[in-house]
Amino acid sequence: MLIAVRTAPHHSWCNPAERIMSVINYGLQGVAIKREQMPEEYEDEFETLKTLEDIQGKAKENPCLKSELEKCIVTVQKLFCERTEHLVWKNEAFETENPASNLEIDEMFKNILRIVSTLTKDETTQQQLRKHKPLVEFIKTHCQERAYSFQIKKCNQPSCEVCYPIRMPIDVFQNLYFLPDPVPSRDNPDRYETFANLYGKFTTEKFRPSLINLNSKAELAPSNILISAKIRGYKIELKLTEQEKQDLESALQTYTYSCGSPIFPDDHSLAQKVFVRVQISCDSPIELLYYTSKKAGNIPICYWCGANNDVVTVPQNLQENFKLVYPLCSSCNENGKTFYKRLENKVNSRKKQKVNHVD
């Protein structure tokens, strides 16, 4: 059996801090990191690369750059490991592991090829994987997929061509279940049910905090309010005096802001004037301010999840009919999301009305 869990991917500021995440964040509080310098020629080359994809692409082409990059972050990785290993969760210290080596990835991939021999290592998106029918079937019958976890369990069916026979005693195997989803306790909904009470029971993701937030988002805002808790570094246009604006600026720099919490201590002079919309979590759609503020570095990101890769091309008819069509990534698209759009072109709608009159 294999259980893999991950933290929130992509841009961390637009993803939820759920459960374990906040514990790990303690380890990083007040930590400044700086990587080592690379030899100048590599620094110059690195300077021109903007996104993670650019960096990965270039590193593939240039093995020297790749190894220099790996070397220059070793001290940072060590620091993260040390800080994380200081943390304790329910009396157990955190452990850290080294990233998988290419050799280990190849080994793992050999096993995947037993399921579907036509898969290649660079097919990594859901869209690409879904084209491989045997893989889809295997995931359906052997795996449990969640936003933050992925689990595989041998089926122990003699007819299965993928699974090797089990090696553990059969009674142990029969009592081995997938890791359950978090479910609120029946006695106290503010707490989660204990693992022991849930283990082996059928659970779903419906209590995932970010999913619940998605379904309950309707909060009225006072007029004098900071609407974007999600986006830092946007232009603040508030009805504030110059002095208040300066106070706000310095407060934003002084206090560490984390998702869902107020910006100021309660006794701060601006505490009653500037609010955070607490209903906006890191998993809410991207605030429209992100797209309207012309800040350099605001790359197109998916309106729903914040992903910046695999953006779907906007269909011609939407482009013609709406002034604003927000980016959509292919995985949100597959999950049933559609393009979020605003400001229908008046010219077109009037034409349509006229046509209707003629009819």
**315 CB neighbour count, 10 Å cutoff:** 11
* C-alpha dist (Å) from residue 133 to 137, 139, 244, 331: 6, 10, 60, 18
Q: Is 329 one of the binding residues for Zn ion (CB under 5 A)?
A: yes
Complex with Zn ion: residue 91 or 256, whichever CB lies closer: 256
**Which one, of 118, 161, 121, 126, lies nearest residue 142 by Cα?**
161
Give me the least distance between CB of 154 and Zn ion, in Å please: 6
Q: Is 229 one of the binding residues for Zn ion (CB under 5 A)?
A: no
C-alpha to C-alpha distance for 303 and 318, rounded to whole angstroms: 16
Tell me the window of 44-52, 252-260, 264-272, 312-320 that interacts with Zn ion (CB under 5 A).
252-260
User: Contact, 171 vs 197, CB < 8 A?
Assistant: no
C-alpha to C-alpha distance for 279 and 107, rounded to whole angstroms: 44
Give me the least distance between CB of 271 and Zn ion, in Å please: 20
Locate all alpha helices (DSSP H) within 224-292, ordered by sequence: 242-254, 288-292
x-or-dash string of contact with Zn ion, 268-287, rule CB under 5 A: --------------x-----
**Which one, of 345, 300, 290, 292, lies nearest residue 318 by Cα?**
345
The conformation of residue 148, written as its DSSP 8-state character, comes to S
Q: Is 332 one of the binding residues for Zn ion (CB under 5 A)?
A: yes
Task: Tell which one of 160, 179, 225, 314 touches Zn ion (CB under 5 A).
Answer: 160
Complex with Zn ion: residue 55 or 155, whichever CB lies closer: 155
Q: Is 8 one of the binding residues for Zn ion (CB under 5 A)?
A: no
Give me the least distance between CB of 49 and Zn ion, in Å please: 24
Complex with Zn ion: residue 38 or 332, whichever CB lies closer: 332
**Which residues, including other chains, have CB under 8 Å from residue 252's CB and lie 6 or more apart?**
232, 263
Q: Which residue has the tokens 């106070």?
A: 247
Tell me the window of 51-59, 113-121, 168-176, 324-332 that interacts with Zn ion (CB under 5 A).
324-332
Task: Tell which one of 8, 65, 69, 163 touches Zn ion (CB under 5 A).
Answer: 163
Give me the least distance between CB of 129 and Zn ion, in Å please: 16
Give me the least distance between CB of 336 and Zn ion, in Å please: 11
Q: Is 304 one of the binding residues for Zn ion (CB under 5 A)?
A: yes
Q: CA angle at residue 14 from 234 to 193, to 5 degrees?
A: 145
Residue 184: φ, ψ to 5°: -60, 145
**Which one, of 293, 289, 346, lies nearest residue 320 by Cα?**
346
Task: Tell which one of 251, 274, 305, 339 touches Zn ion (CB under 5 A).
Answer: 305
Amino acid at 229: A
Number of residues that bind Zn ion (CB under 5 A): 11
Give me the least distance between CB of 246 and Zn ion, in Å please: 25
Q: Is 214 one of the binding residues for Zn ion (CB under 5 A)?
A: no
Q: Is 290 one of the binding residues for Zn ion (CB under 5 A)?
A: no
Question: What SS3 state is found at 187?
Answer: coil
C-alpha to C-alpha distance for 161 and 57, rounded to whole angstroms: 36
153 class by beta-carbon count within 10 Å (0-12 exposed, 13-18 middle, 19+ buried):
middle
Tell me the window of 55-63, 93-101, 163-171, 217-225 that interacts with Zn ion (CB under 5 A).
163-171
Complex with Zn ion: residue 73 or 143, whichever CB lies closer: 143
Question: What SS3 state is found at 301?
Answer: coil
Give me the least distance between CB of 359 and Zn ion, in Å please: 39
Give me the least distance between CB of 329 and Zn ion, in Å please: 3
Give me the least distance between CB of 230 and Zn ion, in Å please: 7
The partner residues of 88 in beta bridges, in order of sequence, read: 93
Q: Is 259 one of the binding residues for Zn ion (CB under 5 A)?
A: yes
Complex with Zn ion: residue 10 or 66, whichever CB lies closer: 10
Binding residues for Zn ion, rule: CB under 5 A, are: 155, 160, 163, 259, 282, 302, 304-305, 307, 329, 332
